[in-house]
Amino acid sequence: MMDLPKGKLIPIGGKEARSPQDNNGGGSRQVTFQHEGILQEVLMEMKGPESRLAVITTASELPEEMRDMYLKAFDALGCKNVEVLHLDGRNVDSKNTLSILEEVDGVFFTGGDQVRLIDRICDTKFMDLLKDRYRNEDFVVAGTSAGAMAMSAVTIREGSSTESLLKGIVEVSRGFTLLPKTIIDTHFMSRGRFSRLTEALLLNPGFMAIGICEDTGLVISGGNHLRTIGSGVALILEADHIRNTNFKEAKRMQPVYVEGLGVHVLARGAGYSLSERKFIVEK
């Protein structure tokens, strides 16, 4: 049996509350930024305000804007020790970059384009070191939107959010594989992504698909146990008990039928075990 990772993953569905004035994030329920907010929980999974954190803006086309936004957000939570890294072909494996990664308590991947993020960071010394720290230390890998989608084994590169489940609406590729046999999608309800995540799951039998809504996250321990944080919900889709589907025979852009797709809705107070396929209500 493979050793369980000692670190934690925190994928976030996007639009997390980033200031006290933005304290309801993407949902309607008011949350207290300093105490209930997702970024606060990211810090608490490390060492609280004393945490040393690296914010990775590689996915974004506006890295300076992202840098300023997250420096301000973490500063408001009392976290002053934040390094911002915009990694590309020139600096991803530099001595300075690897030195920062060796010293921080966790990393936070911003939103943007998951394809850019994966293409620039996979197959690098940076990724090797990140995985090593995640597997062997109490190290946190957090990410929002594209930064969350990249964590899974399979990543949706492109996918239209159609009203119907039509064959051929998604294109997938490898992800960071920090969470094996999974596919993560974000902005899940607000952008109508049920159909594209379902097709991605049908393309990968035996996988689990995780759709995370805005201002919602999951704290994943041991590469298995999911705990929900934030003001919204996350959905778990599983295809283990599908009885009938025309997915293989359907032609491109034809509608797909599925009998027996498993759907679980998680919110704060609920979790899930990926290995046991078990819904957990926290006491």
| Amino acid 283: pLDDT | 74
Separation CA 114–CA 150 (nearest Å): 6
User: What are 216's two structure tokens?
Assistant: 């919602």
- With bands split at pLDDT 50, 70 and 90, how would you rate the model's confidence at 186? very high
CA dist., res. 130 & res. 267, Å (int): 29
- State the number of CA atoms in the 13 A half-sphere of 258 facing the CB: 23
Q: pLDDT band for position 90 (50/70/90)?
A: confident
Report d(CA 249, CA 204) in Å as an integer: 16
The CATH number corresponding to 8-270 among 3.30.420.40, 3.40.50.880, 1.20.1560.10, 3.40.50.970 equals 3.40.50.880
Predicted local distance difference test score (pLDDT) of residue 1? 46
On the CB side of 53, how many CA atoms lie within 13 Å of its CA? 34
| pLDDT value of position 3 | 85
pLDDT at 37 over 80: yes
- Checking if the pLDDT of 28 tops 70, the result is no
The mean pLDDT of 267-281, rounded to a whole number, is 96
Give domain limits for the chain. Answer: 8-270
Mean pLDDT for all residues in the chain:
94
pLDDT for res 227? 97
Q: Where are the alpha helices (DSSP H) in 81-234?
A: 95-103, 114-121, 125-136, 146-149, 194-202
Please state, for a pLDDT cut of 90, what percent of the chain lies above it: 87
Cα–Cα distance, 146 to 187 (Å, whole number): 10
Q: What is the DSSP letter of 143?
A: E
pLDDT tens digit string along 94-123?
Answer: 999 999 999 999 999 999 999 999 999 999
Give the model's pLDDT for residue 31. Answer: 61
- State the average pLDDT over residues 61-74: 96
- Whole-number pLDDT of residue 2: 62
CA distance 240 to 2: 22
Question: pTM here?
Answer: 0.95
Q: Report the pLDDT value the prediction gives residue 221, as an integer from 0 to 100.
A: 98
